[in-house]
Amino acid sequence: MDLQTWISDKLYDILGMSEKHTVFYIEEISKKAKSPEEILEKLTDYEFPNDQKTLCFAEDLFAKLSPKETIISSYQASHQEAIEKRQRNEAYELVENEIDPETDKRERDELHDRIKKRVRSKKDKKQKHLEMTEEERRETVQQMKRLSRWKYLEQREPRQIDLFKRQLEDEERIFKDQELTEREIKEHELNKKIFEIALEKAKKHEEVMSYRLPDAYDEDKANPQQRFKVLYDRYVEAKPEATEQELWEQKQTNRAIFRYGAKDRAQQKNYELLLENQVNFVKENLKKIKSESSGSESDRQIEEEGPPIQKERKGLPIFEYRDELLAAIRDHNVLIVVGETGSGKTTQIPQYLHEVGYTKYGKIACTQPRRVAAMSVAARVSYELGVKLGHEVGYSIRFEDKTSEKTIIKYLTDGMLLREFMVDPELNSYSVVMIDEAHERTLHTDILFGLIKDLARARSNLKVLISSATMDVEKMSSYFDDAPVFVIPGRRFEVENYYTKAPEADYLEAAVITTLQIHVSQPPGDVLVFLTGQDEIEQAQEMLLTRTRGLGTKIGEMIILPIYATLPSDMQARIFEPTPEGARKVVLATNIAETSLTIDGIIYVIDCGLCKQSSYNPRTGMESLIVTPISKASARQRAGRAGRVAPGKCFRLYTLWSYEHELEENPIPEIQRTNLGNVVLILKSLGIENLVKFDFMDPPASETLIRALEELYALAALNDEGELTKLGRRMAEFPIDPMMSKCIMQAHKYGCVNEVITICSMLSVGNSIFYRPKDRALHADNIRMGFARPGGDHLTLLNVYNQWEESDGSSNWCKEMFIQYRSIQKASDIREQLLELCERVEVEVNEDPCSDCNLIIKSFCSGYFFNTARLHATGLYKTVKNQHSVHVHPSSVLFKDLPRWVIYHELVLTTKEFMRQIIEVNPQWLLELAPHYFKAEDLEDDSFKKLPKNRHK
């Protein structure tokens, strides 16, 4: 096709007409033009619309007309730039960090001195540790972490450089006699240059040792501003930014880039790199246009700072109902507020109440089921009120209390309010208590319901608000003595639901196919796929990758991102990165995306209709995690994830009939699926005598309550009358399972509290300490066995923690040892908290390490004697209490050398009934520590002696 015809076709395509003189004119101007932009400018002068289509046209035209030399030279220039950039980057990477002289050096030296002063000897350190205030302690930990990273980087740097040097030498030796292509030679030279730069940089480093730490995404307590920025950004409600028009434009843009790349493929041989460059060019160009427009928008926002906050507040759906709502609160002591997400209830109601003066009589408490929610909402409200977070508006969560005497609006996790009940059972410092997200029915919310209901009857000056997102509030209303219901409409987009025609045999396969279908046939918008667990997510990821690999660039780019709770945080953060132009994000998620985190830009949801749910069997004391169908409420919640920014679609991988007939209306509340040991202890300490008569909204199974009471009795936390003993009262202070707090109390007698607390903290974070990636499973196992201690898993955990502490809490040590940094860090936080509580209940913490491991094991016997199992002649373990057959979990260090008597930390049902975390015990100890529970004949060992060795293997 000749140029003129081509232009003429384009003209017709864009303007709907084609005149010969225009064609000529265009050809002329574009020959002179030096860039596509210049052509574009001329074209718009000539009444072309200034849009994507014209831009593409201009670019195509420029590519067609410019003499190849020009393009190549411009390519070379930009290539040169790219090379330089790469050199810089790689050199940086090699040396790890940028130099920021002087200040960093000084800071670093100061830090060194300060820490040296604080940490003289190990013993001194412990002593100091206890003397320090919370803030100092945190600061020290933080500083030590930074130092340890510096230390690591220092050591790493020469190693890296050395490695690179040897690599270069190898290359030179191996390829000495071979003929190299031009590119290979260039590559080699480039590498040499990078090496030189790195060396040079390293030299500078010796002069000025300094590093800049990367900004952490989360859990960075040293840098609260960064942290709150993330929180704040996350909380600000998503506005319907992408209009239909914009979506359409975006789609057109994608096509344009796409077509462009595809068309030039014919020339690929000659201009392999040229092509790449051109495509980038288009993308960059687009970005520029985009960023310009968004830039001016944000400028405008900055100009109007101040008033817009109030304006924004008035724009929320709840604003219209402000006066009616306040009147309703005035007239009723208990009010149920129904409002969907986006109505603004969480942030606005406490502010309204403050505005009309409720805070004169006491604080306003607002509970959230999750820590992040409490923090981010508090950050938002303090911003709206223009006060500093922690002053008038604050939050209180475990490990972190950001409130002061000034605080009048306090956001806190529901568990925290429950703890406050223990200090002040009448909550006298509060004038309003708002239980938010009540529909989630967490364990703590359910208990608060019972306590608050009672309290509302007793305290006439207390206002209680129960806020929920469900429309089914009749039950709630009748529970709270027929409290009135106030409904606030929500603001979200329509989501269309699609069901399968017939039940799917393999939902994973179906999910993958649906994803691909959406990807090729639906307009832009990210996809969120709900699956049940990590394993499935990894499988789906694999399947999607293999199936798209063959298609190459025939379909648009698909970015597959997994998300689940145990995924390392840097990988988790990736899902919040914006989707690049022309690509589609596919997020494979567990339930975590249902409530805990929201991802913007999701237009399509695929819902497999299942989730993993834990349940507790009080008879055997066994927990199990089983894949179960979700409830209708959950299905709606999942679908709602598609309608946050624009109208969306939800593809349900089950039939409409199943939805209507097979799914439960609501999920089973947590209180009916869990061990209630700790809860019963709390309620007892609040003076509730008859738990069976406690006013639960959905009472737990009586067996569960009875088992919990029995356990507490056997632990001597309750007396014969079922009253709390002195021991029990002290145990209730600890936010851990009563069996565990009993161990701590016992350890007090043996003088090994320090060790026992460490173990309890490690046990509390669950079995997520050891990281075991599939591809390096064997390696990880070997390292884990390196930590093994003969006593069993508890002592192994103690060993892990101590070694971690030796490494100054280094995260690099964790990486090398296949330990999950996040988990062990959390264990350390828990440990700190438990140590603090020990002081409060006057439990002495030993300063010197306890040398007798048996004392540590005996402490655990006194708490966990119910969980005794004996190896029988059959080679199987049976629990002593009800002769239930159980197995040692293969992850245990005792797996290869089964002892006769063990106590286990927990029983889990997966493929078999496994005991997780076991220690070897002497049956004599059990008799000694729990004489009321065991009889001598229970613990006789006769059958075993006749056994030939290794029979059980």
- Interaction site with DNA (CB under 7 A): 369-372, 397-398, 413, 415-416, 418-419, 442-444, 532-535, 564-566, 590-592, 596, 611-614, 625, 678, 735-736, 764, 766-767, 772, 777, 781, 889-891, 895, 908, 910-912, 914
In the complex with DNA, the residue whose CB is nearer, 533 or 751, is 533
Query: Pick from 120, 153, 137: which is nearest to 811 by CA?
Result: 153
Could you tell me how far CA 735 lies from the centroid of its own chain? 22
* Cβ atoms of 763 and 797 closer than 8 Å: yes
Show Cβ contacts of residue 421 under 8 Å, excluding neighbours closer than 6 positions.
427, 451, 686
* Cβ atoms of 611 and 626 closer than 8 Å: no
In the complex with DNA, the residue whose CB is nearer, 415 or 791, is 415
* Cβ atoms of 856 and 756 closer than 8 Å: yes
CB of 385: closest distance to DNA in angstroms? 23
In whole angstroms, give the CA distance from residue 417 to residue 430.
11
CB of 539: closest distance to DNA in angstroms? 12
CB of 921: closest distance to DNA in angstroms? 22
CB of 777: closest distance to DNA in angstroms? 6
CB of 676: closest distance to DNA in angstroms? 10
Amino acid making up residue 706: I
Residue in this structure with the two tokens 């269309």, named with its chain if needed: 496
* Cβ atoms of 761 and 834 closer than 8 Å: yes
Give the angle subtended at the CA of 447 by the CAs of 443 and 453, to the nearest 5°: 145
Question: What is the secondary structure of 903-941 as a DSSP string?
Answer: EEEEEEESSSEEEEEEEE--HHHHHHH-TTT--GGGG--
Amino acid making up residue 244: E
CB of 530: closest distance to DNA in angstroms? 11
Classify the phi-psi angles of 915: left when phi > 0, otherwise alpha if psi is within -120 to 50, otherwise beta: beta
Helix 272-303 with 244-263: angle, nearest 10 deg:
160
In the complex with DNA, the residue whose CB is nearer, 8 or 590, is 590
Give the angle subtended at the CA of 389 by the CAs of 383 and 391, to the nearest 5°: 120
In the complex with DNA, the residue whose CB is nearer, 596 or 725, is 596
In the complex with DNA, the residue whose CB is nearer, 513 or 909, is 909
CB of 420: closest distance to DNA in angstroms? 9
In the complex with DNA, the residue whose CB is nearer, 243 or 910, is 910
* Cβ atoms of 281 and 271 closer than 8 Å: no
In whole angstroms, give the CA distance from residue 476 to residue 472.
8
Q: Give the torsion through C-alpha atoms of 799, 805, 806, 809, to 10 deg.
A: 130
Query: Pick from 679, 680, 700, 134: which is nearest to 414 by CA?
Result: 679
CB of 156: closest distance to DNA in angstroms? 29
CB of 682: closest distance to DNA in angstroms? 9
In the complex with DNA, the residue whose CB is nearer, 319 or 895, is 895
Question: What is the secondary structure of 544-555 as a DSSP string?
Answer: HHHHHHTTGGGS
Show Cβ contacts of residue 666 under 8 Å, excluding neighbours closer than 6 positions.
441, 470, 472, 631, 632, 633
Could you tell me how far CA 29 lies from the centroid of its own chain? 55
Tokens representing 460? 């006439």
Helix 738-750 with 853-864: angle, nearest 10 deg:
140
* Cβ atoms of 650 and 496 closer than 8 Å: yes
* Cβ atoms of 433 and 400 closer than 8 Å: no
In the complex with DNA, the residue whose CB is nearer, 477 or 613, is 613
Strands (E) in 495-541, as ranges, are 495-499, 526-530
In the complex with DNA, the residue whose CB is nearer, 425 or 533, is 533
In the complex with DNA, the residue whose CB is nearer, 113 or 836, is 836
In the complex with DNA, the residue whose CB is nearer, 277 or 591, is 591
Q: Taking the chain, what is the end-to-end CA distance rounded to the nearest angstrom?
A: 79
Distances (CA, A) of 892 to 701, 791, 916: 32, 11, 7
CB of 826: closest distance to DNA in angstroms? 9
In the complex with DNA, the residue whose CB is nearer, 317 or 425, is 425
In the chain, DSSP finds a helix count (H) and a strand count (E) of 36, 21
CB of 905: closest distance to DNA in angstroms? 14
In the complex with DNA, the residue whose CB is nearer, 351 or 767, is 767
Amino acid making up residue 621: G
CB of 440: closest distance to DNA in angstroms? 9
Tokens representing 879? 């629990």
Residue in this structure with the two tokens 């600890």, named with its chain if needed: 734
CB of 79: closest distance to DNA in angstroms? 44
CB of 762: closest distance to DNA in angstroms? 13
In the complex with DNA, the residue whose CB is nearer, 530 or 750, is 530
CB of 506: closest distance to DNA in angstroms? 18
In the complex with DNA, the residue whose CB is nearer, 555 or 777, is 777
Amino acid making up residue 406: K
Tokens representing 45? 């002068």
In three-state secondary structure terms, 466 is: strand
Classify the phi-psi angles of 399: left when phi > 0, otherwise alpha if psi is within -120 to 50, otherwise beta: left
In the complex with DNA, the residue whose CB is nearer, 47 or 897, is 897
In whole angstroms, give the CA distance from residue 307 to residue 294.
21
CB of 598: closest distance to DNA in angstroms? 12
Query: Pick from 373, 383, 382, 464: which is nearest to 415 by CA?
Result: 373
In the complex with DNA, the residue whose CB is nearer, 443 or 488, is 443
In the complex with DNA, the residue whose CB is nearer, 564 or 813, is 564
In whole angstroms, give the CA distance from residue 54 to residue 261.
17
* Cβ atoms of 761 and 825 closer than 8 Å: no
